[in-house]
Amino acid sequence: MSTWAVIVAAGRGERAGLGMNKAFWPLDGRSVLSRCLDAFQACGRFDGAALALSESDMAAWTDLERREGPFPLVKAIARGGATRRDSVYSGLRALPEDCEIVAIHDAARPFVTSDVIVATLESAKAYGSGVISTPVVDTIKQVGPDGAVTSLERDSLRAVQTPQSFDYRRILAAHERAQAEDLPVTDDAMLFEHYYKGVRLVGAPGAEANRKLTTKADFEALNGPKPPEVRIGQGYDVHRLVEGRRLILCGVDVPYEKGLDGHSDADVAVHALMDALLGALGEGDIGRHFPDTDPAYKGADSMKLLAVVMEKVRAAGYSVGNADVTIVAQRPKLAGYMDQMKASVAAGLGIHPSRVNVKATTTERLGFEGEGLGISAQAVALLYK
Ligand code: CTP
Ligand code: MG
């Protein structure tokens, strides 16, 4: 006498909308079906299992065996049918003559545990059937064909799941009759009830977690909340230092003998920052948005241009996560202006100063910055939806 499992995975998983049979869906690195097989294997009570699969999933199964197998429990592959009942029947017929107890399980319940499986097996051994069930937490109403609503007494209700274990001969005979009569049933317990009455329901620790994955939302909930959509951008700009101009960096007037040359106020740091923001948006660069041939931008306050860029950021549905600006200048010494620059940039971006960083470096007198010919700036900005 032996104990077997029939695991049905021959559905299409249409309601889950995954574009594939949900049984093959990778759930945290291991498929829904593999997780079911693991639980039945771990239980240590089975001589084997018949797995019902549709023809179109055979390649996926071979692939799964190679990636996540072996699955020594699976001793037979049964061809699934048009309905779940057909698939179970096909699985039952694949079992050996000496089968005494069979546990029937939906591959769509990957959280099944040994406790739950064993509870149904023990009950089937003692009473001919054992169906896992949980108390109902919602108040259930029955709606009649005429729309009349009747309340059902909650304490008397149970929600049933799989596994459902049975005396093999009896459930096989019930399925044979159901095939002949084309009895519409949604689970095997219904069929057993119909022909024999007296189905035994059992509870077990772990039954609450043994939910069926059915809809798109079921899968989304498992994958956790979607990470926020983030985008990164970087910017770089250089301006020449000349006499007779103000030196404006991050919107702050820095006293110095020279200033940066340019069509606008030549705030090289804010220009790099705007390029970072536009880069993150995939919107090109400031030259495209504020051409230096346009007289409107002559002597323009770069902080005002930043406000225009920020409008584009908001219009695209983004907020600034953080920004980091590096100013490369040999002179003047900028250390004393960092806090003021940081506050100015934070105000321009509309975010808390803790999310802004401004730093300055020299180049050990190397290159154009080191020789005092110009100042360059680099910036990165992170946007999120
Ligand atoms: N099943 C089966 N053969 C069928 C239909 C269903 O083996 N012809 C299996 C499914 O693979 C699943 C279980 O029965 O493991 C429960 O069915 P359900 O949750 O309805 O799954 P699907 O039929 O795959 O999904 P949908 O109804 O959304 O298409
Ligand atoms: Mg279905």
What is the token pair recorded at 281?
Answer: 């948006």
Question: What are 150-167's pLDDT values in tens digits?
Answer: 999 999 999 999 999 999
- Token readout for 110 is 């990957």
Scan for tokens 């600034």, then name that residue. Answer: 320
* Secondary structure E strands in 154-302: 158-167, 201-202, 230-243, 248-249, 252-253, 258-260
Name, in order, each residue with C-beta under 8 angstroms of 179's C-beta and a sequence gap of 6 or more.
Answer: 85, 86, 89
Q: How far, in Å, is the centroid of ligand 1 from the Cα of 9? A: 7
Q: Map residue 146 onto helix, strand or coil.
A: coil
Q: How far apart are CA 179 and CA 120, in angstroms?
A: 25
Print the SS3 string covering 273-287: HHHHHHHHHCCCCHH
Q: Of all protein residues, whose CA lies closest to atom 25 belonging to ligand 1?
A: 13
- Sequence letter at residue 298: K
pLDDT at 226: 63
Atom of ligand 1 nearest to the CA of 109: 15
pLDDT by residue (tens digit) across 20-65?
Answer: 999 999 998 899 999 999 999 999 999 999 999 999 999 999 999 9
For residue 22, the ligand 1 atom closest to its alpha carbon is: 24
Å from CA of 159 to ligand 2 middle: 18
- Rounded CA gap, 110 and 319, in Å? 39
CA 76/CA 93 separation, integer angstroms: 10
Which residues, 6 or more positions from 7, have their beta carbon under 8 angstroms from its beta carbon? 33, 36, 37, 40, 49, 50, 51, 52, 91, 105, 106, 107
Which pLDDT belongs to residue 227?
A: 64
User: Quick one: fold of 230-384?
Assistant: 60s Ribosomal Protein L30; Chain: A; (3.30.1330)
Domains 2-223 and 230-384 fall in the same CATH topology: no
Q: Residue 110's CB: how many other CB atoms inside 10 A? A: 25
Q: Which residue has the tokens 């039954």?
A: 207
Mutate to test the pocket of ligand 1, among 36, 84, 219 (most ligand atoms within 8 A of CB): 84
Q: What pLDDT sits at residue 197?
A: 85
The pLDDT assigned to 229 comes to: 86
Ligand 2 centre and the CA of 148: distance in Å?
28
Closest atom of ligand 1 to CA, residue 215: 28
Q: How far is the centre of ligand 1, averaged over its atoms, from the C-alpha of 21 (Å)?
A: 9
Query: How would you list the strands of the sheet with 201-202, edge to edge?
Result: 74-79, 48-53, 2-8, 99-106, 158-167, 129-135, 201-202
Tell me the C-alpha distance between 323 and 313, whole Å: 14
Which residue type is seen at 121?
A: L
Domain ranges in the chain?
2-223, 230-384
For residue 11, the CA-to-ligand 1 centroid distance in Å is 4
Let me know how long the chain is.
Answer: 385
Tokens of 207: 């039954």
Helices 168-181 and 188-196: crossing angle, nearest 10°?
90
Strands (E), the chain: 2-8, 26-27, 30-31, 48-53, 74-79, 99-106, 129-135, 141-143, 149-151, 158-167, 201-202, 230-243, 248-249, 252-253, 258-260, 319-328, 356-361, 374-384
42: number of Cβ within 10 Å: 12
What is the rounded CA–CA span in Å between residue 53 and residue 61?
8
Ligand 1 pocket residues where CB is under 6 Å: 8-16, 23, 52, 80-84, 87, 106-108, 212, 214
Residue found under tokens 């090289």: 268
- Which one of the ligands is nearest to 6 CA? 1
Residue spans of the chain under pLDDT 70:
223-227
Q: What global pTM score does this model have?
A: 0.66
Which residues neighbour 375 within 8 Å (Cβ) at sequence distance 6 or greater?
238, 239, 241, 249, 260, 268, 327, 328, 329, 369
| CA 79-80-85 angle, 5° bins | 135
Domain 2-223 part of CATH 3.90.550.10: yes
- Under DSSP, the state recorded for 261 is -
**CA proximity to 91, closest of 184, 171, 21:** 171
